[in-house]
C-alpha cells in the first residue's frame, strides 16, 4: 500500500476513535424539581430522587426527553377511579346529546309533539279496543259452550270430551287476552309518560325568550339549557377553565353533605354517601371535541330513598345551577 494511502487511513481511524471516545465520555444532564421546589442539575439522579419528574437536557440545555413523576399506589388507584368516572360521564353526555339531537330534528314545535302524542294515543286506543273485542268474543263463546254443557247435564247426557276441551281452551284464551290487555295498558301509560317527558324536554331546549323577555338565539340557548340541565360547563379557553375549576370545587364543597375524598387537577370528589339524605358531588375535567368541559356528577346512597333523592327535584336543581353559578362567578371576577 502506498505511504500516502496508509497515512489517510490512519488519520480516518484516529478521527473515528476520537469521536467514539468523545461520545463515550459525554454524559447526559438531568434537571428535576423536588417536593420543596428545589431545582437540581446533574449527570446522575440519586436513588432518593428518581420519583420526581425529570428532563434530559442536551449540551445546549435543550429538553431531549421528559420522564413523568412516578405515581404512588394511591395515585394509581385514583387514576383508575378517574378513568372509570370519566368514561361513564362521557357516555352520559353522549347519550343525552344524541337524544336531544333526535328530538330537535324530529319535531318543529310543541304543537307537532302534541299532535304526535294524540296520534300515538289514538293508535294505542285502537289496539286496546281490538284486544277488548277479542276478549268479549271469547267470553261469549265460553258462555255458549258452558250453556251447552249445562243443557246436556240437565238432560242426563254425558258432556263430550271435545266440548270440555273447547271450554278449557276458551278459558285459557280469555286469560291470555286479559294479560295482553294489561301489558297493552301498561305500554300505553309508559308511552304517554315518555312522550310528555319528551315534550317537557323539547320545551326546555327551545325556550324562545331570555329572562328579560327578549328573543334569544335558539341554537345557542338550546345548547346552554342542555348543558345546564346536564351539569356541564364548557370552557372558552384554558385560562377560563383554570378559574372555572376552582369555582367548581367551591360549588362541590357547598352542596355536598359528605367530607373531602379526592382533589386533583382533573377530579374533585367528595366521600361516598353513607346516609339516605347524603349528597356526594364530584366534578371532572374532560376534553371533548377539542373543548375543555367541567362535568358535575351527584351520587346518593344505594337505597330506595337515596335513589329517589338523586332522581328528585333537589338533585336536579343543583345540577341545573352548576353552570350558571360558574358563569356568574366568572363575571364577578372581571
Model confidence at 212, pLDDT cuts 50, 70, 90, reads very low
CA distance 115 to 318: 33
What is the residue-averaged pLDDT of the chain? 81
- Are 273 and 300 a contacting pair, CB within 8 Å? yes
Q: What is the pLDDT of residue 13?
A: 46
pLDDT, tens only, 77-94? 767 766 777 777 777 767
- Claim: this prediction has a pTM higher than 0.85: no
Buried-exposed string 308-318: b where 16+ CB fall within 10 A, e elsewhere? ebbeeeebeeb
CA distance 55 to 184: 68
Q: What is the pLDDT of residue 215?
A: 40
Q: What is the pLDDT of residue 287?
A: 82
Q: What is the pLDDT of residue 221?
A: 54
- The yes-or-no verdict on residue 22 having pLDDT over 80 is no
Model confidence at 178, pLDDT cuts 50, 70, 90, reads very high
- The yes-or-no verdict on residue 183 having pLDDT over 70 is yes
Widest pairwise Cα distance in the chain:
142
Amino acid at each position: 500500500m502506498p505511504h500516502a494511502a496508509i497515512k489517510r487511513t490512519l488519520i480516518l481511524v484516529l478521527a473515528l476513535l476520537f469521536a467514539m471516545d468523545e461520545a463515550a465520555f459525554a454524559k447526559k444532564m438531568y434537571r428535576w424539581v423536588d417536593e420543596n421546589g428545589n431545582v437540581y442539575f446533574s449527570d446522575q439522579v440519586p436513588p432518593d430522587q428518581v420519583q420526581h419528574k425529570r428532563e434530559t437536557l442536551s449540551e445546549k440545555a435543550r429538553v431531549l426527553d421528559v420522564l413523568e413523576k412516578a405515581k404512588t399506589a394511591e395515585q394509581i388507584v385514583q387514576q383508575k377511579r378517574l378513568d372509570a368516572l370519566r368514561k361513564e360521564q362521557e357516555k352520559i353526555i353522549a347519550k343525552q346529546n344524541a337524544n336531544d339531537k333526535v328530538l330537535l330534528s324530529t319535531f318543529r314545535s310543541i304543537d307537532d309533539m302534541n299532535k304526535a302524542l294524540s296520534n300515538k294515543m289514538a293508535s294505542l286506543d285502537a289496539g286496546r279496543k281490538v284486544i277488548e273485542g277479542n276478549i268479549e268474543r271469547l267470553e261469549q263463546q265460553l258462555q255458549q259452550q258452558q250453556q251447552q254443557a249445562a243443557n246436556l247435564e240437565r238432560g242426563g247426557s254425558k258432556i263430550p270430551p271435545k266440548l270440555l276441551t273447547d271450554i278449557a281452551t276458551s278459558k285459557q284464551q280469555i286469560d291470555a287476552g286479559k294479560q295482553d290487555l294489561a301489558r297493552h295498558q301498561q305500554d300505553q301509560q309508559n308511552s304517554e309518560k315518555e312522550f310528555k317527558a319528551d315534550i317537557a324536554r323539547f320545551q326546555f331546549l327551545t325556550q324562545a325568550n331570555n329572562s328579560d323577555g327578549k328573543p334569544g338565539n335558539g341554537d345557542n340557548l338550546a345548547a346552554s339549557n342542555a348543558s345546564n340541565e346536564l351539569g356541564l360547563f364548557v370552557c372558552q379557553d384554558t385560562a377560563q377553565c383554570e378559574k372555572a375549576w376552582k369555582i367548581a370545587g367551591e360549588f362541590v364543597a357547598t352542596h355536598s353533605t359528605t367530607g373531602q375524598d379526592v382533589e386533583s387537577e382533573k377530579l374533585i370528589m367528595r366521600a361516598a354517601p353513607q346516609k339516605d339524605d347524603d349528597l356526594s358531588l364530584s366534578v371532572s375535567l374532560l376534553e371533548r371535541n377539542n373543548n375543555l368541559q367541567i362535568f358535575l356528577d351527584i351520587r346518593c346512597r344505594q337505597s330506595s330513598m337515596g335513589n329517589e333523592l338523586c332522581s328528585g327535584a333537589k338533585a336536579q336543581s343543583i345540577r341545573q345551577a352548576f353552570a350558571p353559578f360558574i358563569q356568574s362567578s366568572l363575571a364577578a371576577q372581571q
